[in-house]
Amino acid sequence: MIGLRRWPQKMLLVTASAALGIAYTFRPLYASNQNHKFLIGLAKVGFGSIDRDWLIGTADPIPAFSFLVETTYRALGEWPFYLEFLLLMIPYLAGLLALFEVVGGDRAGANARWTFVTAVIVVHSALLGDLTSAFFRFDLRDALTDGLAYQSILDHYLQPSLFGVFLVLSVARFAQNKPWQAMAFAAIPPAVHFTYFIMASVLASTYLVLLIKDDRRVSRRVVALSLLYGLAIAPTLLYTLRTFGPSSPDMFQRAQHILAVERIPHHCVASRWFDEVALFRLAWVLLALGFVWGTRLFTVLTVSLLVSASLSTVQIVSGSDSLALLFPWRASTLLVPVATAIILSRLILTLSEVSRGPGTAWLLLAHVVRGLLLVLVTFYGADLIYKRFQNDSSVEFRELTRYVCSQRSTIQTFVVPIERGHGEIENFRTRTRVPVYVDFKSHPYKDSEVLEWSRRVAFCDSLYRELRHSGQISPQAGDELRRMKVTHLLWQGAVPPYLSDEAILYRNQRFAVVDLEKLLPNREEVR
């Protein structure tokens, strides 16, 4: 890469990437999707008694990521997960910087280059998002960096989708006429997270067609690059088809509907996410395409946009749950940040030309402004991270998890309330390291297992309704709980007066732990 070949300058890239990760901010372990994505990997290294959890026995949709979690935790524990998050900022920022050099060409001097890096960090900063949300009720940071359908490459924690950063670097490397690197980087995301299969394959196919056009034939280079990509993704593709193929047409259709419409409609149902912000992002991408008209970069991005738009239209018109779960609109997670990089590049290059003068005073001012902005957004992000680590959950939830951890040896499995929005209960399993009968956040993907998950969710809803209504558990529910070796129940909210005190093992202002043996109907009485 121009300007980054010498070791000190590479270290500057690493430092800037760390600043990007801090300014963007990250959350304490385990947060949101980590409660699901880390589970199988953690179970293999003796993470409490999680290995007895029902979900651990289901098919793993992300075996490569689970292996990363397992090997990382086994070697060094939990802290490297934060380091891995920051390390993945390096290919992301390197890709965006390479795009700046593609757009700028000979005009992309050192001063303009580091102005661009500063702009990228500011645009991705929590400070920008918080300021624009407070004053305009519009999160400009998310609008300029996230894709459609509440999906994005970056998020505030390590997870499989974060490996999409290599797609940014892949596009940049191809635009720099480095097809081997471009193809290798394109193969990494789908190998880790199969959701990227369509995006990466469209990019790879576009690269090959453009190379055939350049070579005027199917050259050995094209064949070799095809084999490189095919061999890299073949294991994941074959594993996914073999493991998650339909058990039967009816079972597969029902499971797909449950996932698309009941579990993740915010990702799958267009009416839930296609709004004015989505229109802004699409217009932003089109504006960026205008700036690179007639270039190889324009062709690559336009093909991705057209394929994504076509498949998205087919899904919306047909209502196909299976196509929705392939997320044809996920290409926007690549197109939006790339568009932001292109537009920032043109803006910075134009300003650099306009302000070019005697030099010394301007350069000094540029250094000062860049430094102040970097310090401001990085310290704001660091302060936000510190506060999250100090207070990432309520006092009551922390007290609850401490109690459960102290009693882990006496617990077989917990049953917890079904919480369909974001809340603390989704963190219960990983914070306490005990098995949970089912929760709404963490779900399997194989059709038969999705149907079992759905049955368990319905059972929990029914169980808690029974308890709220009468304080008693029906014989049928009791049989299910005994069969699944559920020994404890988590209650959220005010405890009903008809729940006996002897059944309540622990309580605070928001939560209670109930000994199910004291509530289950006696088998002799049932007979």
Return d(Cα 4, Cα 10) in angstroms, integer: 5
Position 107 scores a pLDDT of 76
Amino acid found at 465? R
- Parallel, antiparallel or unpaired: strands 488-492 and 504-507: unpaired
* pLDDT at position 6 over 70: no
Using CA atoms, how far residue 119 sits from 93, 124, 370, 377, 486, in Å, is 11, 9, 8, 11, 53
User: Residue 202 — pLDDT band, cuts 50, 70, 90?
Assistant: very high
Assigned token pair, 23: 């300014």
Cβ–Cβ under 8 Å, residues 94 and 1 = yes
pLDDT tens digits for range 90-142? 999 999 999 999 998 877 677 888 899 999 999 999 999 999 999 998 999 99
| pTM reported for the whole predicted model | 0.93
Give the pLDDT confidence score for residue 66 in this predicted structure: 96
Q: Work out the average pLDDT over 161-172.
A: 98
Is pLDDT of 254 > 90? Answer: yes
**Packing angle, helices 296-318 and 197-215, rounded to 10:** 140
Is 316 a residue whose pLDDT tops 80? Answer: yes
DSSP H/E element including 505: strand 504-507
CB 285 within 8 A of CB 339: yes
| pLDDT at residue 471 is higher than 80 | no
